[in-house]
Structure 1
């Protein structure tokens, strides 16, 4: 019987997924969005409002975070890799329709959900959250600068802002839940690399 030590299995190959600039944009945007959501909850949930107090300060923090929300994306445009990601997110192909149909059928087989660097669900989420952020910024400005628009506009803006904020909270909860269920995707955003096995399984059309 041979007593030779077994050769350890080679570590899983790593694949570069995100640059430092891309990861910074995601983290900064997530932090500002988190501040907006938390401060909004304090402003609209009476129990939290009583617990925190300092309503005027909370309002100012909420306004500043909301105004700053587009800044990371605008700064990220200086990165070629980030601009390339925006193009990927903005383009839907035949494989994305297949992915969406599989998601509607709750078909979780990887073969039924072809994806490039971003899957169809991520593209839909990115488009929706970008549009919602612009609407929230516009309605928020109407609520802040009260003399710029008529009362009817401000009343409508308040209605849209409040209900869209609730919708954003629900969608963000779903987004975070999906992220918690995929440790390798989180590792990609944290370190910039993912395992080759994960890349081939989850995003088979990403790399040639």
Structure 2
């Protein structure tokens, strides 16, 4: 039996074989920093738009500053993460639509739960759509936010139009992020993968069979 660094509990080889590494430390840090900034930005926005929260929190100017700068800094974890080869590899996976992604969507629409009928790579089709949507929505929020902040930045676009697009997109982001959190809450293994970087092999076989096969070929694991 062996033990991992910083742990006093021995780990049997057979137990290690039931686990598979899903995310590196760099990838997890990018996710955590992005999630923190997103929640801070959305929370500050809620305090600005909903009177009961605004009255409860007070200090409107400070909330405005927090909202503006958390939004501006939102791309920073992504840009820093590009220094990680594992993060760049995951971006390539997210940007690549495969035939099994179409099969996954069809299975979800029809309510099929069998792993054989819902094949997925490291990221399933739903996660790819979510990532692509967020990647498109965040620049829109930043652009319209800057137009609201610096009113003379682009005179051909009125501040009223910028506010409308910003508010509608913000509402859509809030709903999508809540859905993302809800799905993560329902899947302890997915949360474990993002928290520790490691998941059960049985879960990977059930939810991401194509990725597990690829990982086996890459590492030569059984």
The TM-score range, normalised by the shorter chain, is: over 0.9
Q: For each residue in 1:28-50, what CA deviation from the matched residue of structure 2 results, as whole angstroms up to 9, or x when unmatched? A: 00000000110010000011001
TM-score, normalized by length of structure 2? 0.87
> How far, CA to CA, are the matches of 1:152 and 1:11 in structure 2?
60
Q: 1:168 corresponds to which residue?
A: 173
Q: For each residue in 1:109-148, what CA deviation from the matched residue of structure 2 results, as whole angstroms up to 9, or x when unmatched? A: 3222100111000000000011011110111111111121
Q: 1:144 corresponds to which residue?
A: 149
Q: Which stretches in structure 1 are left out of the alignment for 5+ residues? A: 1-7
8 Å contact 2:102–2:125 — kept in the other structure?
yes
> How far, CA to CA, are the matches of 2:73 and 2:91 in structure 1?
20
> How far, CA to CA, are the matches of 1:193 and 1:108 in structure 2?
23
Q: 2:41 corresponds to which residue?
A: 36
Give the length in aligned residue pairs: 201
| TM superposition shift of 1:152 | 4.3
| TM superposition shift of 1:151 | 7.1
Structure 1 residue runs of 4+, over 3 Å off? none
8 Å contact 2:115–2:209 — kept in the other structure?
no
> How far, CA to CA, are the matches of 2:24 and 2:137 in structure 1?
26
Which one of 167, 173, 188 corresponds to residue 183 of structure 1?
A: 188
Which one of 70, 78, 81 corresponds to residue 76 of structure 1?
A: 81
> How far, CA to CA, are the matches of 2:203 and 2:63 in structure 1?
42
TM-score, normalized by length of structure 1? 0.93
What is the CA RMSD across the aligned residues, in angstroms?
1.6
Which one of 186, 194, 198 corresponds to residue 193 of structure 1?
A: 198
8 Å contact 2:38–2:74 — kept in the other structure?
yes
Q: Relative CO higher for 1 or 2, CA cutoff 8 Å, sep ≥ 6?
A: 1
